[in-house]
Amino acid sequence: MPPPEAESIKSLLNVASIIALIFGILLIIIGLITVTVIIGIIPLINGIVDILIYIKLKEIIDLIDQGRYREAKSKTLVWMIVGFILGGLIIGIIILVAYLKYDELIRRASLAAPPPPPPPA
């Protein structure tokens, strides 16, 4: 059974990924409609980044399901920064809250891990 912190992080990442998907689709549509104007390229790029954030957050959720919390935390940091810069403030804040919960999850997982076997004699 996964720790409750893992479920909390997964829930936050799911919310962020859904918002990223919605924003991504909307921004791509807006970008395609206004692509003839230079300003139309910016929403198109941001929409593509939001779709990429959606895909990467699903991969991070898979890492959490596999119990690879440290790797998930490092990948979350990268996509949190990208989310703040190109994905949108809401997405970045939700991913930041999830990122802050990793320390307790990693601490609890390390306490629950069995001790390493003694070295061979």
Domain count, the chain: 1
Give the pTM.
0.83
User: Per the domain annotation, does 60 fall within a domain?
Assistant: yes
Write down the H helix ranges in the chain. 4-33, 41-65, 69-82, 89-100, 102-112
The alpha carbon torsion through 13, 16, 21, 27 (nearest 10 deg) reads -150
| Predicted local confidence at residue 13, as pLDDT | 95
User: Per the domain annotation, does 120 fall within a domain?
Assistant: no
Residue 57 CB neighbour total at 10 angstroms: 28
Q: Give every CB contact of residue 112 below 8 A, 6+ residues apart in sequence.
A: 3
| Predicted local confidence at residue 23, as pLDDT | 94
Structure tokens at 62: 């898979």
| Predicted local confidence at residue 113, as pLDDT | 61
Ranges of the chain with pLDDT below 50:
none
| Predicted local confidence at residue 100, as pLDDT | 93
User: Per the domain annotation, does 116 fall within a domain?
Assistant: no
User: Per the domain annotation, does 119 fall within a domain?
Assistant: no
Range of the domain at 44: 4-107
Cα of first residue to Cα of last residue in the chain, in angstroms, is 35
User: Per the domain annotation, does 30 fall within a domain?
Assistant: yes
User: Per the domain annotation, does 112 fall within a domain?
Assistant: no
| Predicted local confidence at residue 31, as pLDDT | 86
